[in-house]
Amino acid sequence: MKTVYDFTVKDRKGNEVSLSDYRGKVLLIVNTATGCGFTPHYDPLEAMYKDLRNKDFEILDFPSNQFAGQAPGSNDEIHDFCTLKFGTEFPQFAKIDVNGETADPLFEFLATVKPFEGFGKGLKNAALNKFAKMNNKKFGQKTYIGWNFTKFLIDREGNVVARFEPTVDMKEVREAVEQLIG
């Protein structure tokens, strides 16, 4: 059975990194953007990382510019923004596509295992759903990710165990991570 350990990605400098390097750790894989309404998620993500990284936990950050152009700039510019504004220390990888014909195979896999089930109820979620549908029409059947800051929780064996849309409260994400860490 395929796991995240079967994938290789590029770090922000363009070097290949095997996700098997993270074997035995709990992972939170996130597609991010620097100019999104959810960009403040970097704060609770970094807090979680600082608190839990010594318990074999890693956050893997994959910027994507596919959502209304909200991640402009080079890999280095994005990295500088995140480290200066939010103090991020978790690994940040090269900017990728998460939808369409050019979608990174990792995100295609993650979203196939845990498909999009909606943003939830409420006015804000309904508005995001409408905006996301317009943005994602161009990807058709290859729309894997609904919006920036979608998070996938991976167990120590490399299995995808949960998906959190950006509208899920970060406290709920942290609780799931802490439960999996044990």
DSSP-H helix ranges across 3-138? 42-52, 75-86, 105-113, 123-136
The verdict on whether 36 is a catalytic residue reads: yes
Measure the CA–CA gap between 9 and 26, rounded to whole angstroms: 18
Measure the CA–CA gap between 144 and 81, rounded to whole angstroms: 26
Measure the CA–CA gap between 108 and 144, rounded to whole angstroms: 6
Residue 149 near residue 122, CB atoms below 8 Å? no
Instruction: Given the residues 17, 36, 47, 168, select the one marked as catalytic.
Output: 36
Query: End-to-end alpha-carbon separation of the chain, Å?
Result: 24
Contacts of 55 (CB under 8 A, 6+ apart): 26, 181
Please report which helix (H) or strand (E) contains residue 164, including its range. Answer: strand 160-164
Instruction: Return the active site residues.
Output: 36
